Amino acid sequence: MDNDLYEILKELEIKDPDELFEDIPESIRIKNVGLPKGISEDEVREIAGEYASMNRSVNDMHSFLGFGIYNHFVPAAIGNIISRNEFITAYTPYQAEISQGIMQALFEYQSMMAELLQMDVVNSSLYDSSAALGEAIRMMHNITGKNEFIIPQMMPNHKKMVIRNYAKGPGINLVEIPFDERGMFDIEALKEAINDNTGGIYLEYPNMYGIVDSNVRMIREIIGEERIFVAGVNPISLGVISPPGAFDADIAIGDGQVLGLGLNFGGPLLGVFATKMKYIRKMPGRIMGAAKDMKGNPAYAMILQTREQHIRREKATSNITSNEALMSLSSLVYLSLLGDSGLRKIGEINMGRTQKLMSMVKEFGINLPYNDSPVFNEFLMNIKGSKTFVNRIARKLNLIPGYYLGKEYGFTNRNETNLVVNVTERNTDKDFDVYREFLTRVS
C-alpha cells in the first residue's frame, strides 16, 4: 500500500476503500465488469499498431475521395501547437484570469474566421457542419417563429439525416428544392416554394457536386429581408471565391476540417458558425469577447453566457457544452500560417488542379453532367459501366476514384457509375497519371 492510500484510509477511519460504497444498495452492486487485465504501454502500442496496419489509409492509395471531408495538407506546426499541455489538457475557461491564453486564441479564431467569411460574429465552435446547419435551422425558427425551411434536395445524406433530427424538436418542415440543368439551386422552384410559413433557406456553394452556385447572388432579393438566409461554404475555397458576407447571408456555416484538421476517420471535425451582430443573442455556442480587467487592461471573457445551458437551462439557445475548441485552435494556426497569400494560393491550386483533371476526363469523352458550371475542387462524373466494373479497375490501380453515388441519391441505372471526384493540393502528378490509366481502362 502506498503512503497516500495509507494516510487517507487512516484519516477516514476505514480499512478498505470499498467501505465508501456502502450507500449503493447490495441488490445493485456488481462484483466485476468482465474486462481483461490491464496491459503496459508497449503492449498497447503493439496491438494498436496491428489495428492501424489493418487499415489502408489515403496515404497508402491514390485518393480522389472527398464528399464533405477532405484530404488536405496539414502543416507540422499545428500538431506541435495544439499538443502544448497547457492548451490540450485545459477545459472550458471558466476561470478567465488563469486562462487568457486559450481565450485570446479563441477570440483570434473568431476574428480570423469572421474576416474569411466577412461576417460579424463567429462562435468558438460547434461539432461539425451538419450540427452547425441543424443549429442554424433552430436559430431561424427562434428568430422568425416560422416552421418551414428550404434546403437543396441534393445534399450528402450524412448532413441531411442530421438536420432532420435537429428540425424535429421544434417541428420544422424541411422543404427540398431540386437543382436546375446547371446543377444549381432551381430559382423558379424556389420562388414557387416560398410562402408565408417560410422562415429561411439554405444554399451551399460549392454544393454537393462541387459547383460554385452563382445563384447565391440572387437569394437575398428573392427571399426578402425578413427571411433568414443560411449560406454553406467550404472555408478553404474562400481565398478565391466570394465570402457569404458579400451575399448578405444572415448565418454562414461550414466545416473547418479543411483548415488543418486532417481526416481522422471523420472526427473530430469543426462546425463553423457565423452570424450578423443583430442576431448575436440568438446564437448557439460559446463566444469569447474583448473585455477589460478591473484595472483597465485588455482581456478576454466568455460573453453572453446567459444564452447557454449552464445558466439558462431549458431556455438556452442550444444544449451545447463541450465543443471543438482545440479544433478551432488548429484552424486558427492554419489560417495564421497561410495568411492572405497562402489562402489565395491554396484556393487556386485546388480549383486549378481540379480543372486540370476535368480536362483530362473530357479527353476520354467521359460524361461530365454539369460540364459548363464552375466547380471548386469536386465534380460529378458519369462513367458507362457498372460500379462493380469500375471499382474493380480502380482497386487494381490502388486508386479511390471518387465517391460512388448510388440509389440513395436517385442514381438507379446499374449500367453506369456516378462519381463525385475530389482533387486537393495533396494529389500529386503521380496520382494524376494513375487517374489517366484508370480513365483509359474504363472508357
Partner 1 sequence: MYHQAVFDEPLILELKGRRTLKLPHEDEKFDLNIPTGMERNEIGIGDREEFTVVRHFVKLSEMNFGADTDFYPLGSCTMKYNPKINDEISSLPGFKYLHPLQDENDIQGALKLMYELSESLKKITGMDAITLQPLAGAQGEFTGLSIVRAYFEDKGELEQRREVVVPDSAHGSNPASAAMAGFEAIEVPSYPDGTVNMEKFKEAVTEKTAAFMITNPNTLGIFEDKIVEMAEYAHSKGALLYYDGANLNGIMTKTNPAKMGFDIVHLNLHKTFSTPHGGGGPGSGPVGVVEKLKDYLPVPIITYDGKYHLSYNVPKTIGKVASFYGNFGVLVRAWTYIKMMGEEGLRDACERAVLNSNYMKKKIEQFMPVPGKPLKKHEFVASSHDGNLPKAGDIAKHLINKGVHAPTIYFPLIVPEALMIEPTESATKREMDKFIETVKETLTMKHEELEQEPTNLKITRIDDVDASRNPRPTYRIQKMSEKI
Considering only residues 55 to 114 of the shown chain, the ones binding partner 1 according to CB under 8 A are 55-59, 61, 63, 65, 67-69, 71, 73, 75, 77, 79-102, 104-108, 110-112, 114
Q: Does 406 bind partner 1 (CB under 8 A)?
A: no
List, as one string, the DSSP characters of 341-384: HHHHHHHHHHHHHHHHHHHHHHHTT-B-TTTTS-BSSEEEEEEE
What CA–CA distances, in Å, run from 329 to 68, 127, 410? Answer: 21, 14, 39
Q: What is the grid cell recorded at 78?
A: 499545428
* 173-202 positions binding partner 1, by CB under 8 A: none
Shortest spacing between CB 314 and partner 1, in angstroms: 4
Instruction: CB nearer to partner 1: give 121 or 383.
Output: 121
Q: What is the grid cell recorded at 86?
A: 497547457
For 37, how many CA atoms within 13 A lie in the half-sphere containing its CB? 3
Contact string 197-236 vs partner 1 (x = CB under 8 A) = ---------------x-x-xx-------------------
Instruction: CB nearer to partner 1: give 191 or 290.
Output: 290
* 292-311 positions binding partner 1, by CB under 8 A: 292-295, 297, 299, 301, 303-306, 308-311
Binding segment for partner 1 (CB under 8 A), chosen from 31-39, 196-204, 223-231, 430-438, is 31-39
* 228-287 positions binding partner 1, by CB under 8 A: 238-243, 255, 262-269, 277, 280, 286-287
Shortest spacing between CB 60 and partner 1, in angstroms: 8
Q: Does 32 bind partner 1 (CB under 8 A)?
A: yes
Shortest spacing between CB 44 and partner 1, in angstroms: 5
Instruction: CB nearer to partner 1: give 310 or 414.
Output: 310
**Hey, is 207 helix, strand or coil?**
coil
* 329-348 positions binding partner 1, by CB under 8 A: 329, 332-333, 335-348
**Which residue is associated with the grid cell 444572415?**
250
d(CA 301, CA 107): 9
Tell which residue, 243, 253, 203, has the closest CA to residue 223: 203
Q: Are 400 and 63 in contact (CB under 8 A)?
A: yes
Instruction: CB nearer to partner 1: give 27 or 195.
Output: 27
How many CB atoms are located within 10 Å of the residue 165 CB? Answer: 11
- Rounded to 5°, the CA angle 365-369-375 comes to 105
Binding segment for partner 1 (CB under 8 A), chosen from 141-149, 188-196, 227-235, 395-403, is 395-403
**Hey, is 237 helix, strand or coil?**
helix
d(CA 182, CA 39): 58
Instruction: CB nearer to partner 1: give 305 or 382.
Output: 305
Shortest spacing between CB 161 and partner 1, in angstroms: 4
